[in-house]
Amino acid sequence: MLKDSANFAADWRRVGETMPPRAINMLTLDPPEHTVVRRLFMEALRAQDHQALERMIEQHTTELLAVLARRPSFEFLTEFAEPLALSTTSAYLGVPMPDPAWACRIARDIVAGMDAGLWPERGRAVVAAQEELAVLVEDWLDRPPPSGVVGVIAKQAAGGGVAPDIVANTVRGLLFSGYSSGSKLLGLVAVALLHQRAAGLERFREADTARAVDEMVRYASPIQAVARACVHDTEVGGSPVRAGQAVTLLLGAANRDPARFPDPDTALLDRHPNPHLGFGRGPKSCLGSPFTAIFTRVVLRVIAERYPGIRARGAPTYFPNLTARSIERFEVALR
């Protein structure tokens, strides 16, 4: 279904729904419009130096851990994962880092709003949060940086045939996914390694890092569900789906499907093949997945090498969210 844009739309306007202008971006468009936008952004991402990106992430990680190592313990999400994801994502985009407290508030409102279908009252804060974020991104594009992803996009977008508002909305999505999804994934992986003991840091360090990160994304991905609109009457697995119906795809369940993954509740760091859906699949697969994979790999490697004695100081608590799962608090000690 993720691959079948003809029958299952990410663009809900195809089934007569109204979408607010701020909500229209690369992920909510279908081909052929989606293809033009994705090409623009893929070219900008490919233009980045990934070796320099790894060095930058390693430097930011090392410096932040050195500060936190002076303390008996710290809260993993708010004091490590979120500030690190924000600083590295901003550097990758080539833009000034937003105020961390502001970014945290905006991200919390947007993530909570993903569950507005179940709790409509959560939807009100999303509109205001998206507007604040849009003002920031539009300022970046009006005065683009000389380098980084945003600089390349701003330079190429003028002749790329993509509407400026869609460019801005998609940049906003890149910032949000790098910061919010990246920090959530890192937090959930930390819980898996340090609290659940699904795999040890030493095993992670010795494993093929690309396969190990893939497996941790499968095992601990924050994105639990996405929705599609059925465009034409069709069938899925022998069940009829009618035009106009909304379909919720449970990615978290798919990643633990025993018919697809032997021993699905075990983190096997050498699992191969690993067709997980942690980054989606098909034309709407996560644009920022290469950054997130590098970010997770480098951060875990630095922790394993410099602080092998890192340990949990209690059980985590979680935010009451369904679409995007996240720890709320998880106390850890580096020594």
What pLDDT, on a 0 to 100 scale, did the predictor assign at position 46? Answer: 92
What pLDDT, on a 0 to 100 scale, did the predictor assign at position 194? Answer: 96
Residues 6+ apart with CB under 8 A from 4: 282
What pLDDT, on a 0 to 100 scale, did the predictor assign at position 159? Answer: 75
317-318/239-241 β-pairing: unpaired
Alpha-carbon gap, residue 334 to 188, rounded angstroms: 17
Alpha helices in 28-122 (DSSP H): 33-46, 50-68, 76, 82-93, 100-113
Alpha-carbon gap, residue 329 to 303, rounded angstroms: 19
DSSP characters over 129-165: HHHHHHHHHHHHHHS--SSHHHHHHHHHHTTTT--HH
DSSP characters over 6-39: TTEES-GGGGT----GGG-SGGG--TTHHHHHHH
Which residues are 246's β-sheet partners?
A: 229
Which residues are 74's β-sheet partners?
A: 332
Q: Which residues of the chain have pLDDT under 50?
A: none
What pLDDT, on a 0 to 100 scale, did the predictor assign at position 203? Answer: 86
What pLDDT, on a 0 to 100 scale, did the predictor assign at position 283? Answer: 87
What pLDDT, on a 0 to 100 scale, did the predictor assign at position 282? Answer: 87
**165-214 per-position pLDDT tens digit:** 999 999 999 999 999 999 999 999 999 999 999 988 888 888 999 999 99
- Give the burial class of 220: count Cβ atoms within 10 A of its Cβ; 0-12 exposed, 13-18 middle, 19 or more buried: buried
Alpha-carbon gap, residue 325 to 335, rounded angstroms: 28
Which phi and psi (to 5°) does residue 331 adopt? -85, 130
**246-267 per-position pLDDT tens digit:** 999 999 999 999 999 999 999 9
Alpha-carbon gap, residue 322 to 330, rounded angstroms: 19
Alpha-carbon gap, residue 159 to 157, rounded angstroms: 5
Q: How many CA atoms lie within 13 A of 58 on its CB side?
A: 13
Alpha-carbon gap, residue 1 to 254, rounded angstroms: 12
What pLDDT, on a 0 to 100 scale, did the predictor assign at position 240? Answer: 97
